[in-house]
Structure 1
Amino acid sequence: MNDIVQTIKQEKQVYISTILMMALFTFLFLGIEYLFVDMISLSTSSKHSVWAQNCMLGMSSLGFLLFPIYNRIFKQKHEKIKIIFFSLITIICIFVIYNHLSYQITFIAGLILFLTLGFLGSVTFYKAANILQNSQYLARFVGVSYMIGIIFQFLNNNLVSSRIVEVCILSIVMFIFMIILNNQKTQAFNQYNEKHDSNIRSVMISLILLIILMSCVFSTLDNAVTLVHASGVVDIGQLPRILLALSGLIAGIIFDFQNRKFMCPVMYCMMLLSTLCIIVLKFSEPFLIGLIIFYMTAGFFVVFFTTSFMELSYYTYYPDLWAGLGRALNNMTAALFTTYSLKIVSLHTDIKMTIYIVLLYVLISMITFVYIYQRNKMTERITSVNKERSKEERLALIQNEFSFTPRETEVFDCLVSCEDSIQMIADHLYISKRTLERYISSIYKKTGVKSRIGLINIYNQKT
């Protein structure tokens, strides 16, 4: 019983550090983006600042896509060197942006910095997806971490009056983040074994299209808000930003209801609010109303695409690519859609704006229907396949997946099937405690987990 209590405590610590890891990444990305826009706007127009910002988002998408390639070449090698290298690169670029020697130097430093941030973000979501793969509260973890990251940024913007102090805080947090990221150890992904299932491919395609279309809406909204911020009319770091944090938390709680069955329908309703937000920002005088609607819906969207792709990564060949693909698609769409979205925001013809909104919403409605249908079909298929497996079949799958010996399989079965202490299991198997510990050590090494709860999670994934 003491072993179970100890492993539960270890699992809680891992979950807390995972939330903190994702929260710090959110804080760093948004904080550095905020800093970059402020610095670059000192030497260019507000519209060009928006263009430069979206170039940075595009570069971060490239960084997201580089990690899967890096992961296959180097795997877990050179971890300490990686920490030192990325920490130095990011901190140097942060200070170069802060000094703003010229537009060109600031822009180049931004490209390097956001490429690195994209890479680190891909690592973050891959490790988070790996650790949370058996949790029924995946969206809640994402929502809580997003809320914490936004609150950190809000406090940094509003309590720190000195720009150099703010830059130093970003640099220190970056170093802490790198240490936490390195200490998060991954285990084997327990993936659904029918990876050639055409239904899963349909879910992948429809989700990609859905996120791209939704990103077009939020890119338009974000550019409208950034234009006002860069012009100095409104500081978007003030109190309304708390709504963004709260919406992320609420989204996580709502999305997890009934195993995230209603996550997409809820997000669809939020999209209706988003399209109304474009109308408010374009045709209504009070900017604050549009800003409030924007933050209410944006938090839901971030939690939606992050959770959706992390969840989908469990059923793919390349989880290190799919876990962070939501953020990459969102950023890439924002970068490629910049010119057109700026034209939309600047339109003086009501008819063209209305046509754009209606067309986008119709497309989103169609893809949403397809995605909901395919996702429900995929979930039912996976559930039916898993229910057909007996205990012996599950143990055989695990034995083949991790190359267990027959004795290791027997030990694994005891560890996940009862709450007995190590000594009691050793007595049951008629072996010494030291011999049993050797078997357990070998099982941990082969599975990549470090606790009994981790083994139970592996077993439950096969049920």
Structure 2
Amino acid sequence: MNTIAKNTFIAMVSLALFYFIFLESNSFYLSSMSSFSLESKIATTIVPIMGLNALGFLCYPLYSLKLSRRKRRGTALVFAILWIVCLIIAATVSSPIAIVGAGYLSFFIMGVLGGNAYFGVAMMLAQSNRLITSVALAHAAGILLHLICFHIPLGRAGDAALLGLGIIAFSLVALFGWPSLQVPREGAAVDRMGNPIYPRKILDLQGAVAPPNLQEPRGFAIQLVALTILLAVLFNVLNSVTSLGTPWVNQYAEVWPRLVVAVCGVAAGVFFDIDRRRHMGTVVLCVAFLAMAAALAAGSGLNITVCRVVFYAGSGIFAVFYLSLFIWLAAYMRVPQLWAGMGKVISNVVALVVTIPSAALAQANDQALTSLAFVLFAAVLILMTRAGMLAPDYEERISSYSEKSTDAEETPDHESAEKPDQESPEQASPRSPEEALAAFCESYGLTKRESDVLAAVVSDERPLKHVAAELGVGLRTVQHHLTSLYKKTGTQTRTGLTALFIEESQNGAQARESHEEQPSEATRGASTEGASGE
């Protein structure tokens, strides 16, 4: 298994374990509270768990940026031990207060270690052509694993043991599974070989690697946060309608709604990746409208089963949408540790704030709920249009923020006017791409075929099968040459190889310019000595 496949596998396993633990922990603590005949207090005691989980995600950037690698690993080990202790307490004690307290601490720790998982996924998969499919498959795997475990009659102790195994596996991945990632102050991630992991979109093959003072797409990030909040509120309100009269514990026990969420999420992920995310905003908007219509139809007394199928299908697509989009966006932000899990943070906070009021509103006033749903959908439509997410090229326009740097904007007009007079002829005529490629191949001792593969993989984001078709060779041959390129250049990913190629091309151009300047300086020195000798 090559490095890219290995990292993809680790990312999917980590996400799947997180989703499984999240769902299994919810159902475990819900059933524990039910065993004490406290169904009336479940909402007020369990819902705050979502807020503590979100708080853990928000605390992860501090944990990641303030501690050294060794201290982070030691802290993660302590968190994992505390997590297991909380599970043991919840499984053995007979005090509802102790169970709730253990649950609160467990979900906070889950948020911190979950932030580590999301950040790792963002660094490994954010620029993958199969990002959304990978996230959707991990989401579906977590749901299916939870359903299997939930319907195995093991009792409270057995459920705790299964959950404990999941926690141990997830903690081991957090401690030892990820490659060593570091993020310097400018926010450009590097792997353990020191190769920068820049987003593919901000690599300019005709110029320079993106400078460290790049502007963030803050405008789009803020709009995406607002959009996700609106959609999450809308789906939580609609869920109150479709789940009206269903006990809390049964919402985690029903099989078919979870299967619909998993299957539709995977189908949407595959389509979005094949479509290269061009119509993702349009699809999500249409799905939100169908989900709203289905939920309101269910509240009006129409066929409840059909309406719930449509609603849960929309929920699965929405979950994949917000989880994967924030993972993709994180690679463009200065603090990717914060943004990678922002989708989960928003989902949890909205659940914390909206769940109980929306359930009460659904029971009291269907007309008010209908009006609220239409207002939310109208706001979603306006915000999507304003953010440009209904346009097929929105992703390219978001990534174009790298064309300008903060320093360039702050440069006064008179300085920019003087700049052309100060440029040398050598700076105005950089090396051609052919010269840069030839110099790179000579520097690392690449063969002719390796040179052809290098030129193809650093030029754009095409899948390897398209590269193989262009070169007239098999896919395995391209993979073999790419592995050889990684070994010779000391890189591990296609992104790292591209970044190294650009960096070497720039350094080579600068070295050539300085080399061309040195003889002229030596000649001037010799002529000066000759004049003084005369």
With normalisation by structure 2, the TM-score equals 0.69
Match of 1:9 in 2: 2
Q: 1:170–1:224: structure 2 CA closer, same or farther, 3 Å change rule?
A: farther
- Which residue in 1 is equivalent to 2:130? 137
Distance 1:456 1:52, change over 3 A: same
- Residue 109, structure 1, aligned to residue 102, structure 2: yes
What is the CA–CA distance in structure 1 between the aligned matches of 2:318 and 2:361, rounded to whole Å?
21
Pair 453,50 (structure 1): closer, same or farther in 2 beyond 3 Å: same
Match of 2:178 in 1: 184
Selected match of 1:351 from 361, 367, 390:
367
Correspondence for 1:202: 219
SS at match of 1:78: helix
RMSD over equivalenced CA pairs, Å: 3.7
Q: Look up the match of 2:16.
A: 23
- Closer, same or farther: CA 351–225 of 1 in aligned 2, 3 Å: closer
Structure 2 gaps, min length 5: 182-190, 203-209, 404-428, 455-485, 506-534
C-alpha distance in 1 between matches for 2:399 and 2:227: 23
Name the residue aligned to 2:514: none
Q: Is the 8 A contact 1:309 1:323 kept in 2?
A: yes
Change in Cα spacing, 1:71 to 1:442, as seen in structure 2 (3 Å) is farther
Higher relative contact order (CA 8 A, sep 6+): 1
Alpha-carbon deviation of 1:222? 4.3
> How far 1:199 moved relative to its partner?
8.3
Q: 1:10 to 1:283 in 2, by over 3 A?
A: same
Alignment of 1:372 onto 2:385: no
1:276 aligns with 2:293: yes
The 5 Å alignment of 1:289-438 reads 289-347=306-364, 349-373=365-389, 376-377=393-394, 379-380=396-397, 382=399, 410-411=443-444, 417=451
Q: Which amino acid aligns with 1:456?
A: L
Is there any run of 5+ residues in structure 1 with no aligned partner, and where? 1-7, 396-405, 421-439
Determine if contact 2:239/2:295 at 8 Å carries over to the other structure. no
Letter in 1 for 2:355: T
Task: Deviation per CA, 1:299-325: give whole Å up to 9, x if none.
Answer: 111110111111111211111111111
- 8 Å contact from structure 2 (residues 229, 350) kept in 1: yes
What whole-Å deviation, never above 9, does each CA across 1:11-30 have from its counterpart, x for those lacking one? Answer: 21221121111111111111
Question: Mean alpha-carbon deviation: is it higher for 142-151 or for 451-460?
Answer: 451-460
How many angstroms apart in 2 are the aligned matches of 1:385 and 1:84?
38
Query: Aligned pair in 2 of structure 1 residues 19, 373: CA closer, same or farther (>3 Å)?
Result: closer
Q: Which amino acid aligns with 2:42?
A: S
* Secondary structure in structure 1 of the residue aligned to 2:295: helix
Counterpart CA distance in 2 for 1:307 and 1:393 is 37
**Contact map agreement 1:211 1:305 (CA 8 A) in 2:** yes
Q: 1:88 to 1:197 in 2, by over 3 A?
A: closer
Range moving further from structure 2, 407-416 or 258-267: 407-416
CA distance in 1, matches of 2:20, 2:240: 20
Q: 1:378 to 1:139 in 2, by over 3 A?
A: closer
Bigger mean CA offset, 100-109 vs 301-310: 100-109
1:243 paired with 2:236, answer no
CA contact (8 A) 2:31 2:249 kept: no
Tell me, what secondary structure is at the counterpart of 1:17?
helix
Q: Residues 313 and 381 of structure 1: is their aligned pair in 2 closer, same or farther, counting only changes over 3 Å? A: closer
Would you say the 8 A contact 1:51–1:338 is kept in 2?
no
Residue-by-residue CA offset, 1:402-442 (whole Å, 9 max, x unaligned): xxxx999944999984569xxxxxxxxxxxxxxxxxxx999
- Report how many aligned residue pairs link the two structures: 420
Quote the Cα distance in structure 2 between the aligned partners of 1:43 and 1:64: 31
Partner Cα separation in structure 2 for residue 227 and residue 109 of structure 1: 29
Residue aligning to 1:456: 497
**Do structure 1's residue 56 and structure 2's residue 49 form an aligned pair?**
yes
Larger radius of gyration: 2
Q: 1:25·1:149 contact (CA, 8 Å) conserved in 2?
A: yes
Change (3 A) 1:229 1:459: farther
2:345 and 2:228 mapped to 1: Cα distance?
10
Look up the equivalent residue of 2:55 and give its one-letter code.
Answer: L
Partner Cα separation in structure 2 for residue 232 and residue 127 of structure 1: 32
Residue correspondence of structure 1 range 114-263 to structure 2 within 5 A: 114-182=107-175, 183-185=177-179, 186=181, 187=191, 188-191=196-199, 192=202, 193=210, 200-223=217-240, 228-230=245-247, 236-263=253-280
Answer with 38-47 or 135-144: which moved more: 38-47
> Residue 79 and residue 299 in structure 1: after superposition, are their counterparts in 2 closer, same or farther (change >3 A)?
same
Change (3 A) 1:360 1:289: same
For residue 277 of structure 2, give the secondary structure of its aligned residue in structure 1.
Answer: coil
Name whichever of 78-87 and 124-133 sits farther off.
Answer: 78-87
Task: Give, as a single letter, the amino acid of the residue that structure 1 aligns with 2:8.
Answer: Y
AA aligned opposite 1:190 = Y
Aligned partners of 1:276 and 1:154: how far apart in 2?
A: 28
Q: Is 1:50–1:223's contact at 8 Å kept on the other side of the alignment? A: no
Q: Contact conserved, 2:60 with 2:338, CA < 8 A, in 1?
A: yes
